[in-house]
Structure 1
């Protein structure tokens, strides 16, 4: 039987912001979701390559694991195929944190596990987000209760991955390839020779995608 989903929370004090609280008013928000065994400082480094309009908030995953933090543990989940209840628990923690933020147009950008989280957040709250960037990640298996609403809403999603990425299982890639076009307005990019990483070329494509879908 599946393990019960944990009660998770986001550490508010660990969030890295690109602007002071005073300078965030009236600006759109971009939430960064890092990968497995990393932390909030990892993806924050790409902020310089992204559009200046959104305020960037890089959040720390809630589960201490390895040298950093995880959205769902590798000890209780199959890599690339986590239990939906565990992914939902982490996504709800992010939604709870967002409830404390000013209401503003919001985008998501996640890498690997964080990419899976970006899609899971769309599935739990389809109308809450304007777009999502999913990098070297996958969609969680199973039918979500709000998947039909997501398919009707069809938010823009950028999915970037490399041909040399051996971290995400082929079955997870196949599942994502089938699922995304049915539920989102998909912009899929495959980068020749890129591994489980983010390239300079991909960053330029990400910036263009975000700029296209910004709403102030």
Structure 2
């Protein structure tokens, strides 16, 4: 199947056995990366999944892409939340485009993010819960400034797999440790795990979220 021309440049992997209503997973890479990074997972993901790996819309120099800018000061990193909200809405629209243009199940959409892609995945899921079923959130954190959970929306169908490296020097694990208490306070279905690695995905981490996902799709 050819890749369609949608809002975001992307790669696809079709299910091994063709189906008109496949569960779909959309991969959102981290800052400075591209759509080929997480697509390396595709061959190991469940065969009946339709896999879409999206490229972030902001071009970084000299290479790579981002969902939003990060500004560095002497003491901290500051995210451009306005750009993040813009990308949140671009991803929400991209989900609709994927559902309209590929033979996938609109009721069985999973987001898988890494780092900045995870931060965005949380924001999309909490802003547009009707579009999402599962979120695999790797090495990220909750940026409450880019989503606002609404009392008139339903969240009890959402499932979250959250993980982080305990040695992460890019996003300290302390930020990730706020995720589980938040999920519990909202009665959200979630798993939170830590692995003794830096800003990356350990093999055990991959096999853990893969097993979790296989039960839900």
What TM-score, normalized by structure 2, do the two folds share? 0.82
Question: Which residue of the partner structure matches residue 52 of structure 2?
Answer: 57
More helix by share: 1
1:187 is aligned, of 175, 181, 191, to 191
Change in Cα spacing, 1:98 to 1:172, as seen in structure 2 (3 Å) is same
Change in Cα spacing, 1:149 to 1:50, as seen in structure 2 (3 Å) is farther
User: Do the aligned partners of 1:82 and 1:140 also contact (CA within 8 Å) in 2?
Assistant: no
Change in Cα spacing, 1:209 to 1:16, as seen in structure 2 (3 Å) is same
Question: Which residue of the partner structure matches residue 5 of structure 1?
Answer: none
User: Do the aligned partners of 1:161 and 1:189 also contact (CA within 8 Å) in 2?
Assistant: yes
1:175, distance to aligned residue in structure 2 (A) = 3.8
Q: Report 1 or 2 for greater relative contact order, CA contacts < 8 Å, sequence distance ≥ 6.
A: 1
Q: How far does the alpha carbon of each residue in 1:63-110 deviate from its partner, in whole angstroms, 9 at most, with x for none?
A: 112420111101389977635433221110011122223234100100
Question: Which residue of the partner structure matches residue 67 of structure 2?
Answer: 71
Instruction: Tell me the matched-pair count.
Output: 203
Q: Where does structure 1 differ by over 6 angstroms across 4 or more consecutive aligned residues?
A: 76-80
More strand by share: 2
Bigger shift: residues 40-49 or 153-162:
153-162
User: Do the aligned partners of 1:71 and 1:113 also contact (CA within 8 Å) in 2?
Assistant: yes
Q: Which runs of 5+ in 2 are unaligned?
A: 100-105
Q: Which runs of 5+ in 1 are unaligned?
A: 1-9
Aligned counterparts of 1:82 and 1:179: Cα–Cα separation in 2? 21
Aligned counterparts of 2:8 and 2:165: Cα–Cα separation in 1? 34
1:180, distance to aligned residue in structure 2 (A) = 2.9
Aligned counterparts of 1:207 and 1:61: Cα–Cα separation in 2? 24
1:181, distance to aligned residue in structure 2 (A) = 2.7
Aligned counterparts of 1:142 and 1:109: Cα–Cα separation in 2? 21
CA RMSD of aligned residues (A): 2.8
